Amino acid sequence: MADEKASNRQEAEALEKYSVFSAASKWCIVAMVSYAAWFSTLTSFIYYPAIHDLAQTFAVSIDKINLTITSYMAMATVAPTLLVGNGSMSPPKYLRLPSSVWLGHSTEGNTTTGHMWRMPNPLRSLVIIARKDNAVIILACGMLYVVYTCINTSLSVLFIDIYKLTQWQAGLTYLPFGIGGTVSTFFSGRLLDKAYRDARTERGLSTNKAVGDDLDNFPIEKARLRLCMQFDFSIYNTLLVDKNYRTPAAAQASSNIVRCGLAAIVVSFLQKIVDKVGIGWTFTIMSGLCLVALGLFVLDYRNGTAWRQKSTASLSVSAD
């Protein structure tokens, strides 16, 4: 009996240590990823307040300066789909990042030979969108990203023109974005985890961090979206990965193509829309996009699980 208890305790301890990373390694990973995400956002919010002054300095229209944001969005659309290699298998040398060498991912033991040179195909990620539940959620959040980008692009220009603010005063109008994002990090993750646990508990299911939960037969859409619709639309990234946990990188790449592509197109016409229909109607249209996105979220909440399971079943039959 004592041996059995000791064995059970050892198994429990083994399951508890489900990560191969030490606590220090986890903090380093979180710090690096946070810095990468912060740096990209920081450069954007440095540029937005300067749009009005750039137009005056170069004696061009706001519309032409907005095209620089379109160019940035176009690069952001494609760039993530060109990065390959996750440490388990070395990518071809021409696509190998310096960090792979620094972190020791690429060694002689795991390198592959006989690579044929070929250009990456960004459109391959779009296969993810062929699934109805993915298409709905990606399109919805693409619309929200369009609204987010258009607000950021036009905010400083409108405040300078309407309220006669200086450039640095216009820059202060972007502080709520940063403050809101910072504050949300303290509780959004906890709320997300709680909503997931509650959804599992309601169905009499346990949550196993060690080996993971079976998401194929679990309505993850209801666990995530009931929180999204009440709290934060950005949680869709978590849902998208949950829906496509076998191919999370491709799912994120497909989302990036849609949201950045849509934002690039709309921003290129933003000033023309403002000049044509006015500020009020421009942002009335933007609010309409938010309502359409909300409707798509509701659609996925109700039908997403059935669509996903049907698609998974079809793939299983094809494999057999």
The string of pLDDT tens digits covering residues 276-311 is 999 999 999 999 999 999 899 999 999 999 999 988
What region, left, alpha or beta, does residue 158 occupy, with left being phi > 0 and alpha being psi -120 to 50 degrees? Answer: alpha
Cα–Cα dist 30/129, whole Å: 29
More confident site: 250 or 64: 64
The pLDDT assigned to 183 comes to 83
The pLDDT assigned to 112 comes to 47
Indicate the burial class of 193 (C-beta count within 10 angstroms; 0-12, 13-18, 19 or more). Answer: exposed
Q: pLDDT tens-digit profile of 164-191?
A: 999 889 999 999 888 887 887 788 778 8
The pLDDT assigned to 312 comes to 81
Q: pLDDT tens-digit profile of 105-131?
A: 544 444 444 555 555 566 667 788 889
What is residue 106's DSSP assignment?
Answer: -
Which value, to the nearest 10 degrees, does the dihedral of the CA atoms of residues 8, 13, 14, 15 take?
A: 90
Q: Own/partner pairs for 175-182, CB < 8 Å, 24+ apart?
A: 177/45, 177/152, 178/45
Task: Answer yes or no: is pLDDT of 43 > 60.
Answer: yes
pTM here?
A: 0.81
The pLDDT assigned to 39 comes to 78
Farthest-apart Cα atoms in the chain, separation = 85
CB-based contacts of 308, cutoff 8 Å, min separation 6: 131, 133, 221, 243
Q: pLDDT tens-digit profile of 220-240?
A: 888 888 765 545 556 788 889
Q: pLDDT tens-digit profile of 9-22?
A: 555 555 555 667 88
